[in-house]
């Protein structure tokens, strides 16, 4: 089964990107599905189902979605096998921006929003630096100069990565991302899968409802 992990901050445009890219994947005859992990609302999974793609949504709740994605990796694999997928896409929206949920053997796609500041790529250094492919989403909101600056900064952080900019409204630029998904490694998930970067071991005390000392 081909496996791709698509990661990026919440509301960065991951779902809009995949809705367009997966249409192109389906046109090539592959059966694709999405295992989606989000922070507080995983209802975007319904958008995939409405388009006819198998989907499973998980709300991470008190923990970072990227941590939960790794905990649920086996669940995602078993679900994908059960529904007969050729391509499993794991979409996850981490919150702390300190880590990367990318597996060494699976395709790693990082999505950065064009709505952020010009310093956004540096703030996502671990995520961008570990990706095979970096996508600048919501590029329609940028002028040519801003888009050029962001793309250059992404290149500086990860010169080896393939880079795309996309319009999430029209789907412009999504052909390249679809080609990446079609070329994702065909692997069998092992009992232990190595990550490209070490996840932080701590969880935020405040996010878990801890009290604030005075």
User: Could you report the per-residue pLDDT of 82-130, keeping only the tens digit for each?
Assistant: 999 999 999 998 877 677 889 999 999 999 998 877 888 888 888 999 9
pTM to 2 decimals?
0.90
Q: pLDDT confidence of 172, banded at 50, 70, 90?
A: very high
55-59: strand order across its sheet: 55-59, 32-38, 87-92, 2-7, 107-113, 133-137, 162-165
Look at residue 203 and tell me whether its pLDDT is greater than 60: no
Tokens of 57: 């949504």
Contacts of 134 (CB under 8 A, 6+ apart): 109, 110, 112, 128, 154, 158, 161, 162, 163, 164
In angstroms, the Cα distances linking 13 to 83, 158, 200 are 26, 20, 25
Which of residues 71 and 210 earns the better pLDDT score? 71
**Domains of the chain and any CATH numbers:** 2-182 (3.40.50.300)
Q: pLDDT confidence of 173, banded at 50, 70, 90?
A: very high
Residue the block writes with tokens 């703030």:
123
Average pLDDT across the chain, whole number: 88
Look at residue 53 and tell me whether its pLDDT is greater than 80: yes
Can you give the pLDDT at residue 105?
A: 95
Quick one: average pLDDT of 202-213? Answer: 50
Q: pLDDT confidence of 43, banded at 50, 70, 90?
A: confident
Which of residues 139 and 209 earns the better pLDDT score? 139
Which of residues 166 and 10 earns the better pLDDT score? 166
Contact 143/120 with Cβ under 8 angstroms? no
Can you give the pLDDT at residue 212?
A: 42
Give percent of the chain above pLDDT 70. 92
Angle at 4 between CA 153 and CA 14, to 5 degrees: 55
Give percent of the chain above pLDDT 90. 60
């Amino acid at each position: 089964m081909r496996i791709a992990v698509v990661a990026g901050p919440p509301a960065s445009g991951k779902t809009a990107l995949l809705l367009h890219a997966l249409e192109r994947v389906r046109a090539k005859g592959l059966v694709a599905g999405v295992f989606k992990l989000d922070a507080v609302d995983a209802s975007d999974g319904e958008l995939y189902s409405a388009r006819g793609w198998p989907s499973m949504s998980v709300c991470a709740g008190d923990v970072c979605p990227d941590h939960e994605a790794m905990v649920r990796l086996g669940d995602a694999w078993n679900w994908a096998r059960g529904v007969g997928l050729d391509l499993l896409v794991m979409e996850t929206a981490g919150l702390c921006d300190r880590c990367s949920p990318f597996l060494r053997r699976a395709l790693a796609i990082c999505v950065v929003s064009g709505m952020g500041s010009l310093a956004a790529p540096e703030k996502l250094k671990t995520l961008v630096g570990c990706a095979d492919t970096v996508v600048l989403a919501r590029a329609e909101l940028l002028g040519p100069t801003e888009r050029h600056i962001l793309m250059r900064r992404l290149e500086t952080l990860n010169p080896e990565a393939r880079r795309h900019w996309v319009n999430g409204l029209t789907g412009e630029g999504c052909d390249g991302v679809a080609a990446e998904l079609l070329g994702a490694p065909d692997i069998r998930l092992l009992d232990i899968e190595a990550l490209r970067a070490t996840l932080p071991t701590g969880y935020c005390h405040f996010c878990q409802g801890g009290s604030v000392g005075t």
